[in-house]
A and B are shown apart, each in its own frame.
Chain A
Amino acid sequence: MSPIPSADTAVCHPLVKPLTLASALVGLTVLGVGIASKLGVIDADMAKRICGIAFGVLLVVLGNFLPKVARPIGADADPRPIRAAERLAGWLFVLGGLAYIAAWVFVPPGLNLMASSVVGLGVFAAASAVWLTLAGLPRHRPMVGNPRAYAARRGMFVMLHAVFWAFAMFLAAGLWAQPVVTYMTIGFVAANGVLLSCLRRPRHPQQA
């Protein structure tokens, strides 16, 4: 590896475009549904259902690309466990996301919130358990390889974390009153800050 980052690093990672598109679509869908339900175009049950499906789609997209944003070769002493964890977690998120969508579509209103939340939060619990068993917690190492790979990877984890909170807030909004969700939003911002600092970019040995 040359110590000087090449001009190529200015170009964004090939996965940035599909991921940005997916999250923008979900954001716009939720916004549109919110406006439509306030205007009375669609009822509250339908609004919840569409938002649930949108987040399920986002989870499927994220799970699909998770094994694709691998750490660069040489970043881990033994890359095998972490690659196995990525692949298994990717499959879990894709199948779990599809199950989450199915729960919103097929379970009758009134029950679909509980059913989908159990599925959605269960998928995250299973994926975390798989990851910790196979790969453990990530270790910081001096950066090798393309920095774009690290940036895309960090974005992936931040978005998965956000989807987890979205699922949890859906459940809280259904079970308790609105203030709980407000507190959860504050909790999400705090947790996201912690996550971002944990995922900070490993420093290049030459830049230290």
Chain B
Amino acid sequence: MSLVFKALSDPTRRRVLELLKSGPMSAGELAGHFTVAKPTLSAHFAVLREARLITSEKSGNSVIYQIQMSVLEEALLGFAQAFGWQLNASDTPTPETPIKAPRP
């Protein structure tokens, strides 16, 4: 559950979840909605995947992401959006952050 809170307490990651609510998207399509660098963005995806809020699937040479949130997690996302949860700067992922291998 702490992984979920960590994943939800970043505006970029919340934006990713909001975008994915309308349907699965490829990493490239998602990147088009952000001005953040791609390695940073994929670190965000890794945090979301580790918290099991999204799943991913390789298709050709792109990765497709799909949302996978329970009702409770969706309600928490709503709260996080409304109150603007924010992390300490140290918790923000950087491409150097060791990332757990994606689940197959």
Contact = CB atoms under 8 A, between A and B. Distances in A.
B57 A74 contact: yes
Nearest to B20: A83
Contacts of A65: 70
A155 interface: no
Interface string B63-104: 010111111111000000000000000000000000000001
Looking at chain A's contact residues, the main secondary structure is helix
Contact of B69 (A14, A67, A146): A67
Interface of B: 21-24, 52, 55-57, 59, 64, 66-74, 104
Interface residues of A, number: 22
30 contacts: A6-B104, A8-B104, A63-B71, A64-B70, A64-B71, A65-B70, A67-B70, A67-B74, A68-B68, A68-B69, A68-B70, A68-B73, A70-B55, A70-B67, A72-B55, A72-B57, A73-B56, A73-B57, A73-B59, A73-B64, A74-B57, A74-B64, A79-B23, A79-B66, A80-B22, A83-B66, A87-B21, A87-B74, A90-B70, A145-B57
A16 B95 CA distance: 33
Contacts of A72: 55, 57
Given A73-B64, A80-B22, A91 B71 contact: yes
A123 interface: no
A94 B24 CA distance: 24
Interface in A10-58: 14
A87 B74 CA distance: 9
A19 to B, nearest CB: 12
Looking at chain B's contact residues, the main secondary structure is mixed
A67 B23 contact: no
Contacts of A79: 23-24, 66
B70 A80 contact: no
Most chain A Cβ neighbours within 10 Å, of B59, B72, B73: B72
6 nearest A-B residue pairs (beta carbon): A73-B57, A80-B23, A68-B70, A64-B71, A90-B71, A94-B71
Given A70-B68, A80-B23, 18 more contacts: A63-B71, A64-B72, A67-B70, A68-B70, A70-B55, A72-B55, A73-B24, A73-B59, A73-B64, A73-B66, A74-B57, A74-B59, A74-B64, A79-B23, A87-B21, A90-B70, A90-B71, A145-B57
A73 B60 CA distance: 13
A12 to B, nearest CB: 14
Contacts of B67: 70, 83
A94 B68 CA distance: 17
Most chain A Cβ neighbours within 10 Å, of B24, B59, B71, B104: B71
Contacts of A64: 70-72
Interface in A82-124: 83, 87, 90-91, 94
B73 to A, nearest CB: 8
Contacts of A73: 24, 55-57, 59, 64, 66
